[in-house]
Amino acid sequence: MSDDHSLTVPRPLVGIIGFGAFGRLMARHLRPHFRLRAYDPAPPVEADADLADVALAPLQDVAACPVVILAMPLSRLEETVRAIGPHLSEGALVLDVGSVKMKAAEIMAAGLPDHAEIIATHPLFGPASAAGGIRGLKIALCPVRGRRSARVAAFLRKGLGLRVVMTTPEAHDAETAMAQGLTHLIAKVLVQMEPLPTRMTTKSFDLLKQAIDMVRNDAPEVFQAIECLNPYSPRIRKRFLDIAATLDQDLGPS
């Protein structure tokens, strides 16, 4: 005779739309906690053996999951939101993981049905910086609509070991315009100056090269979003370049 204690409660179902490098990174860390479905218009040619239990499914089936994570460039977010809207279950929770939050929050709030809850998130790491694991890394959470942000934050802290930064889309973009915008800008410049020294280098230069390596393989859309779609980035970039130009003048003719 079986008893109630022998019954297992199925793990919650989460859908990931966009199964590129970051979508697969999320899946690796979420799979111990959830059943996962994933959709990508161009799925990876080579399947990851450790993600064999992630069910690849049509868009409408993934969108019907109780929790839906949107993991695509900001340039594709609006069309994706339009496509999934009719398929979302009542009270679904939708999250994005992009680098720019004001525009993403605006797109999701305007395009998703009123019954959907929305949290704009930004994992402040990528596949390169998370190569050694994600415990201790940061993630920004921007509640947009609904009441589940506290529960999501608690899972991220306790379940995944992340450091959660609760913020608003505006405050997020204002800070990351410098923290991300300048990092990616400097990395782009130094990559074009390669080859860089490898023998007689200081510790600070070695750390700088590590920072470059963390972002050098990011998709071009990431750089475009950070520099062009964050409304605070142009002002920060101009200030940086103006200061650099002033320093160049102060140093005199070369």
Q: Please give the C-alpha separations between residue 52 and each of 24, 31, 35, 37, 48, in angstroms, as whole numbers.
A: 11, 10, 12, 11, 7
User: Amino acid identity of 50?
Assistant: D
Amino acid at 168: T
Q: What is the pLDDT of residue 46?
A: 66
Task: State the pTM of this model.
Answer: 0.92
Cα angle: 154, vertex 100, 168; to 5 degrees:
50
User: Measured between alpha carbons, how far is 91 from 164 in angstroms, rounded to an integer?
Assistant: 24
What is the pLDDT at residue 8?
67
Provide the CATH number for the domain formed by 4-167 in this structure. Answer: 3.40.50.720
Residue 7: the pLDDT is 57
In the block, tokens 């305007």 appear at: 110
Measure Cα distances from 97 to 10, 26, 79, 242 in Å: 26, 10, 16, 32
Say how far apart CA 72 and CA 83 lie, in whole Å. 13
> Domain ranges in the chain?
4-167, 176-246
Say what the pLDDT of residue 42 is.
86
Nearby residues of 194 by Cβ (< 8 Å), 6 or more positions away: none
Phi-psi region of 193 (alpha: psi -120 to 50; beta: other; left: phi over 0): alpha
In the structure encoding, which two tokens stand for residue 241, read together?
A: 């370049």
169/102 Cα distance (integer angstroms): 5
Q: How many other C-beta atoms lie within 10 A of the C-beta of residue 124? A: 18
pLDDT of 102: 98
Q: Which parts of the chain sit beneath pLDDT 70? A: 1-8, 44-47
Within its chain, how far is the Cα of 156 from the centroid? 14
Distances (CA, A) of 247 to 231, 237, 243: 26, 15, 6
